[in-house]
Protein backbone atom coordinates (compact mmCIF):
# COMPACT_ATOMS: atom_id res chain seq x y z
CA UNK A 1 0.00 0.00 0.00
CA UNK A 2 1.29 3.48 -0.88
CA UNK A 3 2.16 5.60 2.17
CA UNK A 4 -0.59 7.95 3.34
CA UNK A 5 1.79 10.92 3.47
CA UNK A 6 2.74 10.42 -0.18
CA UNK A 7 -0.93 10.05 -1.15
CA UNK A 8 -1.98 13.16 0.77
CA UNK A 9 0.85 15.27 -0.58
CA UNK A 10 0.13 14.34 -4.20
CA UNK A 11 -3.59 14.80 -3.80
CA UNK A 12 -3.32 18.15 -2.08
CA UNK A 13 -0.86 19.43 -4.67
CA UNK A 14 -3.32 18.68 -7.43
CA UNK A 15 -6.29 20.04 -5.49
CA UNK A 16 -4.60 23.27 -4.50
CA UNK A 17 -4.77 24.20 -8.15
CA UNK A 18 -4.46 21.44 -10.59
CA UNK A 19 -3.13 24.27 -12.76
CA UNK A 20 0.32 24.27 -14.33
CA UNK A 21 3.03 25.73 -16.94
CA UNK A 22 2.44 28.88 -19.07
CA UNK A 23 4.36 30.73 -21.75
CA UNK A 24 4.15 34.49 -22.30
CA UNK A 25 0.72 35.42 -23.59
CA UNK A 26 -0.77 38.18 -25.69
CA UNK A 27 -4.46 37.60 -25.32
CA UNK A 28 -7.62 38.79 -26.96
CA UNK A 29 -9.57 41.15 -24.70
CA UNK A 30 -12.48 38.73 -24.20
CA UNK A 31 -10.13 35.91 -23.15
CA UNK A 32 -8.34 38.16 -20.66
CA UNK A 33 -11.65 39.43 -19.24
CA UNK A 34 -12.90 35.88 -18.84
CA UNK A 35 -9.85 34.94 -16.74
CA UNK A 36 -10.09 38.18 -14.74
CA UNK A 37 -13.72 37.42 -13.89
CA UNK A 38 -12.32 34.81 -11.49
CA UNK A 39 -10.31 37.32 -9.43
CA UNK A 40 -11.03 37.06 -5.72
CA UNK A 41 -10.90 34.63 -2.83
CA UNK A 42 -12.25 31.10 -3.21
CA UNK A 43 -12.92 28.25 -0.77
CA UNK A 44 -13.27 24.58 -1.61
CA UNK A 45 -14.31 21.50 0.29
CA UNK A 46 -14.47 17.91 -0.87
CA UNK A 47 -13.54 14.33 -0.12
CA UNK A 48 -10.39 12.52 -1.14
CA UNK A 49 -11.25 8.89 -1.90
CA UNK A 50 -8.61 6.15 -1.92
CA UNK A 51 -7.81 3.40 0.57
CA UNK A 52 -9.46 5.73 3.09
CA UNK A 53 -11.74 8.73 2.59
CA UNK A 54 -10.69 12.05 4.04
CA UNK A 55 -12.10 15.55 4.05
CA UNK A 56 -10.15 18.20 2.12
CA UNK A 57 -10.38 21.95 2.78
CA UNK A 58 -8.84 24.41 0.30
CA UNK A 59 -8.41 28.16 -0.22
CA UNK A 60 -7.48 29.87 -3.47
CA UNK A 61 -6.71 33.56 -4.08
CA UNK A 62 -6.81 34.85 -7.67
CA UNK A 63 -5.13 38.25 -8.13
CA UNK A 64 -4.18 40.48 -11.10
CA UNK A 65 -0.82 39.61 -12.65
CA UNK A 66 1.47 41.26 -15.20
CA UNK A 67 0.71 41.40 -18.93
CA UNK A 68 -2.97 40.38 -18.76
CA UNK A 69 -2.27 37.34 -16.58
CA UNK A 70 -4.02 36.17 -13.41
CA UNK A 71 -1.89 35.00 -10.48
CA UNK A 72 -3.14 32.41 -8.04
CA UNK A 73 -2.07 31.14 -4.63
CA UNK A 74 -3.71 28.02 -3.22
CA UNK A 75 -3.47 25.99 -0.05
CA UNK A 76 -5.19 22.72 0.88
CA UNK A 77 -5.28 20.91 4.23
CA UNK A 78 -6.18 17.35 5.05
CA UNK A 79 -5.40 15.30 8.15
CA UNK A 80 -2.54 17.55 9.24
CA UNK A 81 -0.93 17.86 5.79
CA UNK A 82 -0.71 21.24 3.98
CA UNK A 83 0.22 21.91 0.39
CA UNK A 84 0.78 25.38 -1.08
CA UNK A 85 0.67 26.10 -4.82
CA UNK A 86 1.31 29.38 -6.68
CA UNK A 87 1.17 30.22 -10.36
CA UNK A 88 -0.25 32.15 -13.28
CA UNK A 89 -3.16 31.74 -15.71
CA UNK A 90 -2.99 33.26 -19.19
CA UNK A 91 -4.36 33.07 -22.70
CA UNK A 92 -1.67 32.48 -25.33
CA UNK A 93 -2.71 33.83 -28.75
CA UNK A 94 0.27 32.15 -30.45
CA UNK A 95 -1.03 28.70 -29.49
CA UNK A 96 -4.71 29.71 -29.36
CA UNK A 97 -5.21 28.25 -25.90
CA UNK A 98 -5.38 29.01 -22.21
CA UNK A 99 -2.36 27.90 -20.18
CA UNK A 100 -1.43 27.77 -16.51
CA UNK A 101 1.91 27.75 -14.65
CA UNK A 102 2.54 26.26 -11.19
CA UNK A 103 5.11 26.06 -8.44
CA UNK A 104 4.49 24.19 -5.21
CA UNK A 105 6.02 23.01 -1.99
CA UNK A 106 5.94 19.46 -3.39
CA UNK A 107 7.62 17.94 -6.45
CA UNK A 108 4.47 17.85 -8.62
CA UNK A 109 4.66 19.83 -11.90
CA UNK A 110 3.06 19.52 -15.30
CA UNK A 111 1.27 21.36 -18.11
CA UNK A 112 -2.43 22.20 -18.02
CA UNK A 113 -3.87 23.35 -21.32
CA UNK A 114 -7.26 25.02 -21.33
CA UNK A 115 -9.86 25.69 -23.96
CA UNK A 116 -13.19 27.40 -24.03
CA UNK A 117 -16.22 25.13 -23.95
CA UNK A 118 -19.41 27.17 -24.05
CA UNK A 119 -19.19 29.70 -21.22
CA UNK A 120 -16.52 27.69 -19.37
CA UNK A 121 -12.76 27.26 -19.61
CA UNK A 122 -11.71 23.64 -19.13
CA UNK A 123 -8.09 22.79 -18.31
CA UNK A 124 -6.93 19.21 -18.85
CA UNK A 125 -3.80 17.85 -17.22
CA UNK A 126 -2.42 14.41 -18.11
CA UNK A 127 1.01 13.61 -16.71
CA UNK A 128 3.31 10.76 -15.84
CA UNK A 129 5.25 11.38 -12.64
CA UNK A 130 6.95 9.57 -9.76
CA UNK A 131 6.20 9.57 -6.04
CA UNK A 132 8.95 10.24 -3.48
CA UNK A 133 9.94 6.53 -3.58
CA UNK A 134 10.38 6.56 -7.36
CA UNK A 135 7.16 4.66 -8.18
CA UNK A 136 5.42 5.60 -11.45
CA UNK A 137 2.18 7.57 -11.28
CA UNK A 138 -0.41 8.56 -13.88
CA UNK A 139 -2.10 11.84 -13.00
CA UNK A 140 -5.18 13.25 -14.65
CA UNK A 141 -7.03 16.38 -13.63
CA UNK A 142 -9.77 18.55 -15.07
CA UNK A 143 -10.12 22.11 -13.84
CA UNK A 144 -13.27 23.91 -14.89
CA UNK A 145 -13.84 27.66 -14.58
CA UNK A 146 -17.59 28.10 -15.09
CA UNK A 147 -19.86 30.90 -13.90
CA UNK A 148 -19.24 31.39 -10.18
CA UNK A 149 -17.54 28.03 -9.53
CA UNK A 150 -14.07 26.58 -10.03
CA UNK A 151 -14.11 22.78 -9.94
CA UNK A 152 -11.06 20.54 -9.63
CA UNK A 153 -11.58 16.83 -10.39
CA UNK A 154 -8.55 14.56 -10.35
CA UNK A 155 -7.33 11.01 -10.23
CA UNK A 156 -3.90 9.63 -9.35
CA UNK A 157 -3.15 6.06 -10.43
CA UNK A 158 -0.23 4.31 -8.73
CA UNK A 159 0.82 2.26 -11.77
CA UNK A 160 2.57 -0.58 -9.90
CA UNK A 161 -0.24 -1.36 -7.44
CA UNK A 162 -3.31 -0.11 -9.30
CA UNK A 163 -4.32 1.94 -6.25
CA UNK A 164 -6.05 5.23 -6.98
CA UNK A 165 -6.82 8.52 -5.29
CA UNK A 166 -9.65 10.67 -6.59
CA UNK A 167 -11.52 13.80 -5.59
CA UNK A 168 -13.95 16.38 -6.88
CA UNK A 169 -13.66 19.76 -5.14
CA UNK A 170 -15.87 22.72 -6.03
CA UNK A 171 -14.55 26.17 -5.09
CA UNK A 172 -16.90 29.09 -4.40
CA UNK A 173 -16.30 32.72 -3.50
What does the pLDDT read at residue 64?
97
CA angle 46, 80, 58 (to 5 degrees): 35
With a cut of 50, list the residues of the chain below it in pLDDT: 1-3, 6, 17-26
What does the pLDDT read at residue 37?
94
91 with 32: CB under 8 angstroms?
A: yes
What does the pLDDT read at residue 153?
83
CA-CA distances (angstroms) from residue 53 to 6, 44, 49, 78, 148?
A: 15, 16, 5, 11, 27
Domain that holds residue 68: 4-172
CATH number of 24's domain: 2.40.128.20
How many domains does the chain divide into? 1
What does the pLDDT read at residue 23?
38
What does the pLDDT read at residue 131?
77
What does the pLDDT read at residue 93?
85
Beta bridge partners of 170: 151
Amino acid sequence: MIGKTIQRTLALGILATGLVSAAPAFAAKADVELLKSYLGDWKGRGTLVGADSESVVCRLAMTPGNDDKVNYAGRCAMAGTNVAVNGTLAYNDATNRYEAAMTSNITFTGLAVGKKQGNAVVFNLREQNKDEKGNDLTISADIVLKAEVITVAFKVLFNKTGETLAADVPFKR
